[in-house]
Amino acid sequence: MNPIIKNILAVIAGLLVGSIVNMALITISGKVIPPPTDADITTMEGLKASMHLFEPKHFLFPFLAHALGTLVGAFIAAKLAANNHIKIGLLIGVFFLVGGIANIVMLPSPPWFTVVDLVFAYLPMAYLGATLSRK
């Protein structure tokens, strides 16, 4: 198979699998750590309005979803890539970072979470995933 086509398919697979991991963790988060009593998390508007009720524990699963989704996506993409494995893994991290920035713009979060999420969940996890795929 043409290496360019193989790399494009690897990126698509990494984005797909990483997104599935991300959404799975977000979906189960409310069952593991219930949202605040008066929080409406069913709509974006309700989530924005109740964000002040969230405690640090409520941000654990969103961080894990972002970090593990990126890690798994980068691992898969780098594993399937024909060449440039680390670069392909980091590309997954960039895609997820852009998504994380968009999420923060749409749904403002506490500054501490914004920093932790953007600094530690995307590019470092993408690099780790790509590196682990080469072992």
Q: Could you tell me the residue ranges of all domains in the chain?
A: 3-133
Instruction: State the pLDDT confidence band at 30, using cuts at 50, 70 and 90.
Output: confident
The answer to whether 96 and 20 are in contact (CB under 8 A) is: no
pLDDT at 120 over 90: yes
User: Can you state the angle between helices 111-120 and 85-106, rounded to 10 degrees?
Assistant: 170
Instruction: Encode pLDDT of 31-79 as tens digits.
Output: 999 888 888 777 888 888 888 889 899 999 999 999 999 999 999 999 9
pLDDT at 82 over 90: yes
Q: What is the model's pLDDT at position 23? A: 96
pTM (2 decimals)?
Answer: 0.92
Residue 57: other Cβ atoms inside 10 A: 9
- Read off φ and ψ for residue 16, nearest 5 degrees: -65, -50
